[in-house]
Structure 1
Amino acid sequence: MLDIAEELHRWAEQGRDFAVATVVAVGGSAPRGPGAALAVDGKGTVIGSVSGGCVEGAVYELCRQALADGETVVERFGYSDEDAFAVGLTCGGVIDVMVTPVTPAAADAPWRAAFRAAVSTAARGGPVAVARVVRGPAGLLGRILTVRPEEAAGSGSEGSGGSGASYEGTLGGHAELDRTAAAEARAMLDSGRTGTVGLSQDGSHCPGGLTLLVESSVPPPRMIVFGAVDFAAALVRAGKFLGYRVTVCDARPVFATRARFPEADDIVVDWPHRYLRRTAVDGRTALCVLTHDAKFDVPLLKEALRRPVAFVGAMGSRRTHADRNRRLREAGVTERELARLRSPIGLDLGARTPEETALSIAAEIVATRRGGTGVPLTGSDVPIHRAERERGGAGALRLVR
């Protein structure tokens, strides 16, 4: 749902009636993961997607029905060789989709307030998590809890219960359920993950109670490109395409200019290692070193390989790589730290141009982030759609019914 927050926020502000369909569970191969959403307003306007087109028509009709009867439902879509007329996924996977009507006239004011808080915060790019009941008693299905970092929530939150997160809304069960759910959602928000949590109605982790889908929306990850070289301009464009906030850093002011990098979010003129020491990075950050100059590379990589980032790559020939590794060892970098370095940076695509090189670097970043192999899918038995690793992104979900 939060992937279309900007549009949903606009619709809510305009007072439109609409229904939101969200993928709440995935089994096997499926084109979209949990949290992917499609919405339909009272006039039939559609935004978003829950699949590659296989089931969109049927989900559209479910949304129209939800607007008519005001009921939240969960529907499963799969694939059956026996039923040629069944609506399902041709890729052989199974998805569960929850459809929830959102109307200004709805009687549940806490639900409306929590929903609006979630889409408003996500639309502004702020950190927020939404916990919704996707399996449980019919009266609780679709109930929502919006969780934000306590320092960002302000005084309008309904509670925090010592969970480390303030929240709005209620799941409608035992009071402890809201506090426990808020704590679980905050933990997933901290790592930017989307996934399911099983709780009992009294807030304990006993099986057989409720299943919550927790969606997290966090500011975009950072990509820092060190070295204002020709390849950097193409990599900036690739990074922006992948959804990164991209910074270009170079110690030479004549090269690090807005005219040369109009699409970069930030341009910094500073020695790379000095900038890295003072800027904020996290477990989603990608650091791309394109300078291939020892006086910049060695102090920068020594710092980079000791930071908690997702990716550290450096450009250069294999001869440059060998010389750089020797210098890094002499500078005190350990073998364990060196093992984190992706060098020469990029996958072997036979790249020649700056754009092709940027594509090869972006492909390696994606493969590292998602656990891919980088081998061709043709002739391979590697699954196309995999459950993502626990370290980030949308987690693998259990089917909810």
Structure 2
Amino acid sequence: MMCRKEAPVLDRITEYQSCLDQPERWAVATVVAVAGSTPVPVGTSMAVSADLEVMGSLSGGCVESATASLAQQSIAEGTPRVESFGPDGDLLGEIPLTCGGQIRVLIQPLASMPELQHARMLSGADPHHAVDFTRTIVLGGETMTVVEHREAAPRLLLFGVQDYSLHCAQLALGAGWRVQLIDHRPAFATPQRVPEGAQLTVDHPADTAADLLSDPRQSWTAACVMTHLPELDVPVLDTLLRAEPGPDFIGALGSHNAQRRRRSALAQRGHSASALGKIHGPLGLDIAAASPAESAVSIFAELISAKNSAPSSRQSRSLSTTAGPINYSRTRSASIMHPARIGAGSARRVTDLAVSS
């Protein structure tokens, strides 16, 4: 089974900048297969230097020490290796995976991964690009192909610059999302207020909403109206509901009374009850938030829930009250490493990268 959902080795290209500049000193360990309950998804990576500097994590603590030691060996020998870790411990007798699953880890000296340098060159201008990354290696005489894919980052459009939206922007940026804030009021829409990494558009939200939804990268998009001003909220929501394609999630800040007034105004503009049902408002999960910062956590939690298609029966519940896998949206059995299909007797190296802008 090929997994093309997550590939943090690509997500970390910018973070690995110093490693890529000194490839002879570093190795990259990548989770290439998982089975059962595991702490991380397939594609998760960790870089280790010959001096035991570490970037990233593979398991939240279970197997890092063993992997780091094996990475040092791979750097010294200049050869890749694959190791498996499971509930009974790894080959070195280290701490086992407490979650009960199994992971398979590919460890490669960075000097033997020139195609990763190519991936950096292709995606370096915009870390949010989608990238396909294929590399072929020889392990014990068997040729294997590793296929990874990084999707374009989720996108959050925040209409209105104020405390709630600024806190939401910070949370989304920390999770690797693309964030854009839109406001036409110069006193509020100032670069000094906007978190580093977010884009700011100083224009009327209703005038820019349609243009912002025409992004060719087609990543998952949430659009949230945060202004609390009917003369701004209603035109923006009207545009969002009419857009083709529209955002994957439409949210509106405000009380139940504010939502009723908006829906009434939008109905007068010709929107059906079905269309109005696409608006999530009041925005956020019920966690008794009592400040803009806490409300932002509530709002971003709902966005994550929607992006990952969490069932309504589990939304806003403590994990301690649930049964079954914690990361139930994650593939339980997946591999990104497969026997290579190349001609008999051939041990050629295959490099195939593509970037979607």
TM-score range, shorter chain: 0.7 to 0.9
Q: Structure 1 residues 308 and 31, CA, compared in 2 at 3 Å: closer, same or farther? A: farther
Q: Structure 1 residues 136 and 215, CA, compared in 2 at 3 Å: closer, same or farther? A: farther
Instruction: Give deviations 1:44-99, integer Å, cap 9, x for gaps.
Output: 32222111010111111221222233332222211039x99564211112111111
1:130 to 129, 133, 151: 133
Give the SS at the match of 1:214. Answer: strand
Aligned to 2:316: 374
Letter in 1 for 2:121: S
Residue 5 of structure 1: how far off its partner (Å)? 1.5
Letter in 2 for 1:295: E
Aligned to 2:328: 386
Instruction: Give deviations 1:10-69, integer Å, cap 9, x for gaps.
Output: 323235332211011222222221111112223332222111010111111221222233
For the pair 1:324 / 2:327, whether they are aligned, the reply is no
The aligned runs of 1:225-236 (5 Å cut-off) are: 225-236=158-169
Give the % identical residues.
32
Tell me, in whole angstroms, the C-alpha distance in 2 between the residues paired with 1:271 and 1:57. 53
TM-score norm. by structure 1 comes to: 0.71
Aligned to 1:255: 188
1:21 to 29, 33, 45: 29
For the pair 1:274 / 2:207, whether they are aligned, the reply is yes
For the pair 1:347 / 2:321, whether they are aligned, the reply is no
**Unaligned 5+ residue runs, structure 1?**
144-211, 389-394
Tell me, in whole angstroms, the C-alpha distance in 2 between the residues paired with 1:356 and 1:24. 37
Q: Quick check: 2:36–2:333 contact (8 Å CA) kept in 1? A: no
Give the SS at the match of 1:16. Answer: helix
Residue 128 of structure 1: how far off its partner (Å)? 2.2
Aligned to 1:159: none
The aligned runs of 1:1-400 (5 Å cut-off) are: 1-80=9-88, 85=93, 87-103=95-111, 112=114, 114-124=115-125, 125=127, 126-132=129-135, 138-141=141-144, 143=145, 212-216=146-150, 218=152, 220-263=153-196, 265-279=198-212, 280-281=214-215, 282-305=218-241, 306=243, 307-372=245-310, 373-388=315-330, 397-399=333-335
Letter in 2 for 1:11: C
Letter in 2 for 1:213: V
Q: Which has the higher contact order (CA 8 A, sep 6+)?
A: 2
| Superposition RMSD in Å | 2.8
Q: Quick check: 2:156–2:172 contact (8 Å CA) kept in 1? A: yes
Q: Quick check: 1:3–1:36 contact (8 Å CA) kept in 2? A: no
Q: Quick check: 1:20–1:63 contact (8 Å CA) kept in 2? A: yes
Tell me, in whole angstroms, the C-alpha distance in 1 between the residues paired with 2:42 and 2:273. 38
Residue 382 of structure 1: how far off its partner (Å)? 4.7
Give the SS at the match of 2:109. Answer: strand
Instruction: Give deviations 1:140-169, integer Å, cap 9, x for gaps.
Output: 23x5xxxxxxxxxxxxxxxxxxxxxxxxxx
Give the SS at the match of 1:96. Answer: strand
Q: Quick check: 2:24–2:109 contact (8 Å CA) kept in 1? A: no
Residue 244 of structure 1: how far off its partner (Å)? 2.3
Tell me, in whole angstroms, the C-alpha distance in 2 between the residues paired with 1:332 and 1:323. 15
Tell me, in whole angstroms, the C-alpha distance in 1 between the residues paired with 2:165 and 2:136. 45
- How many residues matched? 317
Tell me, in whole angstroms, the C-alpha distance in 1 between the residues paired with 2:176 and 2:225. 19
Tell me, in whole angstroms, the C-alpha distance in 1 between the residues paired with 2:192 and 2:198. 13
Tell me, in whole angstroms, the C-alpha distance in 1 between the residues paired with 2:75 and 2:122. 25
Q: Quick check: 1:20–1:102 contact (8 Å CA) kept in 2? A: yes
